[in-house]
């Protein structure tokens, strides 16, 4: 942590181009990307998740997500399931943190029971999809170590490519390779490497749209598993920002009245 603050100070003083190590450059890119996405306060969106197995058979989940930006810590998130119908009304509350374990509660509508759950299942699949819990949790600088690898152009977009290594416990990855475009510092592509360091998944971000003149949101995220042939696509819709949500809207009491 102290190391990061030091590096933060360092990057603030030094322009990017000066002789810096690959680690410093990787961190600087991450910080710039993170900074450009600050100040959205709260957001809500609807998501359709399409799971495809290796024979191309599809199944769909519909989810609503609200988030609260927390300064100096991980965000708070509330997720409500609309389909499949047997889990309709199931709600999931998460206070994410950079390095200490997240706090998570789940509401089971059939029993009206709010359960505090362990957040150690970072590498487990989210709703049977190819997205792991750690893939959809909020991005925080201290979660990774960084190393700039190279510049590369993908689909006509000039990108920085960095290697990130998870610093939090229970990750399913040794490392990820992340493509961030030079113009807007948006994530374009991520390669995930499993615990044996072989390529596991590739995620692509498409259809970025700009909100409030500052916040870019990808409307299509596709995760392709390179080992089992399955894929999951998230289709986002109806993004809203600064709707006036507060901490009060992200408490375990709120789980009970989600629909």
Contact with another protein (CB under 8 A) among 106, 125, 139, 208? 125
DSSP annotation string for 18-66:
SS--HHHHHHHHHHHHHHHT----EEEEEEEEEEE-TT--EEEEEEEEE
114 scored as a contact of another protein (CB under 8 A): yes
- What contacts 161, CB < 8 A, 6 or more positions away? 148, 149, 150, 151, 152, 177, 178, 179
Residues constituting the chain: 259
Q: Which is nearer to another protein, 51 or 190 (CB)?
A: 51
Q: How far is the CB of 48 from another protein (least distance, A)?
A: 12
- Residues 145-174 within binding reach of another protein (CB under 8 A): 169-170, 172
> Cα separation of 142 and 162, whole Å?
15
Q: Could you say which of 3, 35, 120, 240 contacts another protein (CB under 8 A)?
A: 120
Q: Does 225 bind another protein (CB under 8 A)?
A: no
Please give the size of the binding site for another protein, defined by CB under 8 A.
36
Q: Binding to another protein by residue 2, rule CB under 8 A? A: no
Nearby residues of 171 by Cβ (< 8 Å), 6 or more positions away: 122, 123, 134
189/230 with CB nearer another protein: 230
SS3 category, 123: coil
Shortest CB 180 distance to another protein, Å: 29
Footprint (CB under 8 A) of another protein, residues 50-109: 51, 53, 59-60, 83-88, 101, 103
Site membership for another protein, residue 238 (CB under 8 A): no
Under the rule (CB under 8 A), what is the footprint of another protein?
51, 53, 59-60, 83-88, 101, 103, 111-118, 120-121, 123-125, 128-129, 169-170, 172, 248, 251-253, 257, 259
């Amino acid at each position: 942590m102290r190391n990061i603050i030091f590096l933060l100070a360092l990057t603030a003083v030094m322009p990017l181009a000066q002789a810096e190590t690959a680690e410093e450059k990787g961190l600087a890119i991450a910080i710039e990307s993170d900074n450009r996405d600050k100040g959205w306060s709260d957001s809500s969106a609807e998501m359709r998740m399409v799971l495809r197995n290796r024979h191309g058979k599809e199944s769909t989940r519909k989810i609503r997500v609200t988030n609260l930006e927390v300064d100096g810590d991980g965000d708070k998130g509330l997720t409500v399931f609309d389909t499949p119908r047997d889990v309709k009304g199931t709600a999931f509350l998460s206070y994410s943190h950079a390095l200490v374990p997240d706090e998570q509660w789940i509401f089971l509508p059939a029993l009206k029971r709010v359960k505090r759950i362990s957040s150690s299942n970072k590498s487990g699949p989210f709703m049977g999809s190819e997205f792991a819990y750690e893939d959809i949790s909020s991005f925080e600088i201290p979660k990774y170590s960084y190393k700039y690898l190279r510049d590369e152009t993908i689909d006509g977009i000039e990108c920085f490519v960095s290697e990130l290594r998870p610093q939090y416990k229970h990750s399913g990855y040794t490392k990820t390779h992340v493509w961030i475009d030079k113009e807007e510092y948006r994530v374009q592509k991520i390669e995930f490497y499993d615990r044996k360091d072989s390529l596991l998944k590739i995620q692509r971000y498409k259809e970025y749209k700009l909100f409030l003149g500052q916040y870019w949101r990808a409307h299509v995220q596709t995760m392709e598993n390179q080992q089992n042939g399955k894929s999951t696509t998230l289709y986002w819709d109806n993004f809203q920002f600064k709707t006036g949500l507060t901490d009060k809207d992200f408490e375990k009491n709120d789980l009970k009245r989600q629909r």
